[in-house]
Amino acid sequence: MQNSISPEKTHQLDIYSGFPLSIERGSGSMVFDSRGNGYLDFYGGHAVALTGHCHPHVVNALIHQAETLIFYSNSAQNSSRSSCIEALIDFAPEHLNKLFLCTSGSEANDTAIRIAKLYTERPYVISMKNSFHGRSGNALAATAISRYRERAAHSAHMLLSRFGDLDHSAVLFKRYPGEIAAVLVEPIQSSAGVYQADSNYFKELAYLAKEQGAILIFDESQTGFGRCGASFCAELIGVKPDIITASKGIASGLPMGSVFISQELSAINYSGLLGNTFGGSPLSCAAARATLEVILRERLIKNARETGNYLKDTLKQLALSEIKEIRGEGLLIGIELKSKAGPIIKELFKRKVLVGSATDGKTIRLLPPLNVSRTECDMFLEALEDALTSVTDITLEQAA
């Protein structure tokens, strides 16, 4: 098979620009195209490859489950789902001891918003400018990145606040007294460019929401399950949200989203109001349980923290003139350039390194597997330095 993806381009809706290759195999931090060429994957397929590609423990769990029971609906219990739920609750913050399983981050955020509105019986939700929460229903309505928001119908019941600006959120609470059900926020705005806010902002936001009777929702789709060097980013910040949503790498690539909620929020009857067909499928649950086992057994949270620090520290030591700022926690890292990131991303691709872009147009996002090695980090750093030099030389030649 050649590196051709023409059937996808011909018949599938054109939604991503994507990499110009057909990825057919993966192992650890590497993926391989249809010609056998290897690529260092510092993108992780949208931050999904938490334990690396095709981790043997996850693969074996999937094989065993596929031979036993691939699917049955939530109308009956099964041991795969039960053991997965137990593992997820053990992994989550102690105060979040109830769980809803679904199939994606979008569905998780949509559900979290619905829970908040049902519980508070209020109509409005605050989300943050430049946020990304998904592309369906309430999740899209809460997304505030302009390229997504401007072309989609958005709810009049979604209020936008400035990320990191507590006073602006306080103004919205005053403007809509007793009507705001929830505040939905990413602890790190990953898609926007890995933007962070001070931990005191989140603590004061949590206090404000509680004072006003609103539910605080942390969208940890891209920051959860060890990505930032802690079980969840809320732990790093020192905040206890009422709800945490998570997805991405939770099941090493199988569809799964999760909504962790407090005991208090589970007090009302959600029967008939929440549900889905494929949420918590036996196969996805087997993958999620195995993924958590790998994260814990191989101490990948520690590796994410230490290797992330190594990457950031080395980038700073290189003192590359083209880099404006380095942001992030653990193995969610943003490298903001002084010019557009696109040419550098293309040069990295030529050197067989895959990285992510951001909606700000200037930031390279790194989302490698949590078991990435320092040797692989050095490979990336060498490729980045070479790519930056190459683009700078081309720019100088064009200017001459």
- Residue 11 banded pLDDT, cuts 50, 70, 90: confident
Give yes or no for a contact between 128 and 168, defined as CB atoms under 8 angstroms apart: no
Mean pLDDT of 238-243: 98
Choice among 95-109, 354-368, 381-395 with the minimum mean pLDDT? 381-395
Q: Give the model's pLDDT for residue 4.
A: 52
Whole-prediction pTM: 0.92
Average pLDDT across the chain, whole number: 92
> CA-CA distance, 338 to 204, in Å (whole number)?
33
CA angle 60, 62, 63 (to 5 degrees): 65
**pLDDT for the residue 18:** 75
Is the confidence at residue 396, as pLDDT, over 50? no
As its CATH architecture, domain 6-55+299-399 has: Alpha-Beta Complex (3.90)
Per CATH, the architecture of 56-297 is what? 3-Layer(aba) Sandwich (3.40)
Buried b (16+ CB within 10 A) or exposed e, 335-352: bbbeeebebbbebbbebb
Answer whether residue 1 shows pLDDT above 90.
no
Task: Identify residue 329 by its one-letter amino acid code.
Answer: E
Angle at which helices 79-91 and 282-297 cross, to 10°: 40
Cα dihedral sign, 70-75-79-82: positive
In which residue ranges of the chain is CATH 3.90.1150.10 found?
6-55+299-399
Mean pLDDT, residues 49-56: 98
Q: What pLDDT score does 202 carry?
A: 99
Residue 58 predicted with pLDDT over 50: yes
pLDDT at 380: 98
